[in-house]
Amino acid sequence: MRRLLLIRHAKSSWKYPQLDDHERPLNKRGQRDVLTMSRHLADKNEQLDVIYSSTATRALEYAQAISELTHVELVPELSFYTFDVDELIQIIKHLPPAARCAAVVGHNPAITMAVNRLSGEDISNVPTSAIAALNCPIEDWHELGQGDCELDYFDYPKMFT
């Protein structure tokens, strides 16, 4: 059994148009939601082995907060800076076998499409800062395929306001 948490980055700022997309920081709402959702995840006591994150500022700041609250290793990886679902799933299929429960902080539309493809759900949009937890009855990540996982929960900041 594998467990996968697919997490969309927090709300970013468009205040600095000169910044590259990769460098956009969190806005105030994003900062607030990071605290809310990181604490929520820590309270759930997920048995995470590792947190992988896109190196984009808006994703990495969220992943760092989760890492600090859960005391789980954070692995920033440029390859997770993708908006393509096929690419994202291929990356996940190559996670190390030791990572039985992994969190991935990434970007839409890849996150929403991956949740739907892996679980068979029909979620129209995974909002910023949302967490979708999937149970995947597979022995190794490379076995991951369409409809293989069951959505355990889908939590997002507006649930807590």
The CATH code of the domain that includes 132 is 3.40.50.1240
Structural domain contains residue 128: yes
101-138: string of b/e by CB count within 10 Å (b at 16+)? bbbbbbbbebbbbbbbbbbebebeebebbbbbbbbbee
Would you say residue 154 lies in a domain? Answer: no
Q: What is the DSSP letter of 26?
A: B
Q: pTM of this prediction?
A: 0.97
Residue-level pLDDT, tens digit, the chain, 161 residues = 999 999 999 999 988 888 889 999 999 999 999 999 999 999 999 999 999 999 999 999 999 999 999 999 999 999 999 999 999 999 999 999 999 999 999 999 999 999 999 999 999 999 999 999 999 999 999 999 999 999 999 999 999 87
Is position 83 within any domain?
yes
The answer to the question of residue 158 being in a domain is no
Q: Which range marks the domain in which residue 25 is found?
A: 2-12+21-137
Give DSSP secondary structure letters for 31-59.
HHHHHHHHHHHHHHT---SEEEE-SSHHH
Total domains present in the chain? 1
